Amino acid sequence: MLTLSYDGAGYHGWQIQPNAVTVQEVLQNALESVLQEKPNLKGCSRTDAGVHARMFCASFHTQRQIPCDRLINALNHFLPPDVAVTACREVPAEFHARYSCKGKQYVYQIWNAQVRDPFLRERALHYWYPLDESLLNETAQQFIGSHNFTSFCTQDQREIGSFVRTVTQSEVRREGNLVCFTVAADGFLYNMVRILTGTLLYAAQGKLAPADIPAVFAAKDRGMAGPTAPPQGLYLNHVYYEEAELNG
């Protein structure tokens, strides 16, 4: 299993697409250069275009006998500077980066100042109206627990089965002008974190109160929640696995 981090600004998400450059494509190309074979990469998530990852995991099978430390250095030689492999470990043959995952943590960054920060271009949402982080945190607390998140996702062909997810962490903190929304769950639906963020901004604008969130869940209606926040502030921050599955 490879662990990597990447700046997603120049990519059309993780998953390979016919007419756009993706993170999976550049990683697969690097693997092919090193291994002289094209392994079938399994990613832990399907990040959208412009979304970043501080921790992203991908698994694959290979017959090549290359020690992990050498593989890390070799791949980073062939990867572009906005993608880096940070760790590598052997895992059981049945391990799958996505299906073995027990949960993920995301962070959404908002630069809350009148003047934009050019160093955070495509790294954070610039929101110049004042934000009350205490109100946002109170609203974010309403997301914790097991809920049907139909109101908080974009429904398309990828969303089948249950819309129930269990959120274990949901909080908003401010560090100077940077306001960060951190959310962890056993799984996420399409655009779920970005819609949760947009709903927090709706609360900041007085369009709903923390006490209104249970009714938004109950409605199972996408129109009841806030807009989908732009992708550039979103980071896949951590991916969780059970040690027993990593060791076999």
Annotated active-site positions, please?
48
Strands 83-88 and 2-6: antiparallel
Strands 42-43 and 178-185: unpaired
Strands 125-126 and 103-111: parallel
| Contact call for residues 186 and 165 (beta carbons, < 8 A) | yes
Question: Burial level of 75, CB count in 10 A (0-12/13-18/19+)?
Answer: buried
| Contact call for residues 105 and 238 (beta carbons, < 8 A) | yes
Gap between the Cα atoms of 200 and 111, Å rounded: 14
Q: Residues for the chain: how many in total? A: 248
